[in-house]
């Protein structure tokens, strides 16, 4: 379990390695960074600041920031049923659905949305 305020760099290291391989194998002066690498970098901005991601991956901050999709997190309540049901989604496509009769598991929700 990560301590609060300390973030894993495993995802950054993987994408950095992918970018290094692409840079090494591309023809000199030819080609732009593939879209899937931009998407991977933008996805990292969900856990890390865009400036940190851009610096670690050697990318343009402005170009990376323009690709970061900020979606609002939402909570859907159905007041017609007893108990509660919660659905959350993140920009990386991960989804979580919970239901219950007791208190909301706020810690679990917070960890999912980080």
Residue 94: C-alpha distances to residues 27, 38, 61 (Å): 35, 18, 25
Contact 11, 47 (CB under 8 A): yes
On average, the pLDDT of the chain sits at 78
Q: Are 52 and 23 found together in one domain?
A: yes
Residue 91: C-alpha distances to residues 25, 52, 94 (Å): 30, 19, 7
Q: Give the per-residue pLDDT at 69.
A: 66
Would you say residue 5 lies in a domain? no
Q: Are 47 and 76 found together in one domain?
A: no
Q: Give the per-residue pLDDT at 114.
A: 72
* Segments forming the whole domain that contains residue 34: 10-67
Q: Give the per-residue pLDDT at 99.
A: 82
Split at pLDDT 50, 70, 90, the class of 6 is very low
- 95 has a pLDDT exceeding 60: yes
Instruction: Give me 103's structure tokens.
Output: 């208190």
Query: Locate tokens 């999709």: which residue?
Result: 69
- 43-83 pLDDT per residue, tens: 888 888 888 999 999 999 999 988 886 544 555 555 555 67
């Amino acid at each position: 379990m990560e301590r609060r305020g300390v973030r894993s760099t495993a995802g950054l290291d993987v994408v950095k390695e992918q970018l290094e391989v692409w840079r090494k194998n591309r023809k000199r002066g030819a080609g732009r960074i593939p879209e899937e690498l931009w998407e991977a970098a933008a996805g990292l901005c969900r856990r890390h600041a865009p400036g940190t991601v851009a610096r670690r991956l050697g990318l343009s901050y402005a170009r990376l920031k323009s690709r970061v999709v900020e979606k609002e997190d939402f909570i859907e309540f159905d007041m017609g049923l007893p108990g509660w049901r919660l659905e959350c989604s993140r920009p990386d496509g991960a989804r979580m659905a919970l239901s219950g009769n007791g208190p909301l598991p706020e810690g679990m929700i917070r960890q999912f949305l980080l």
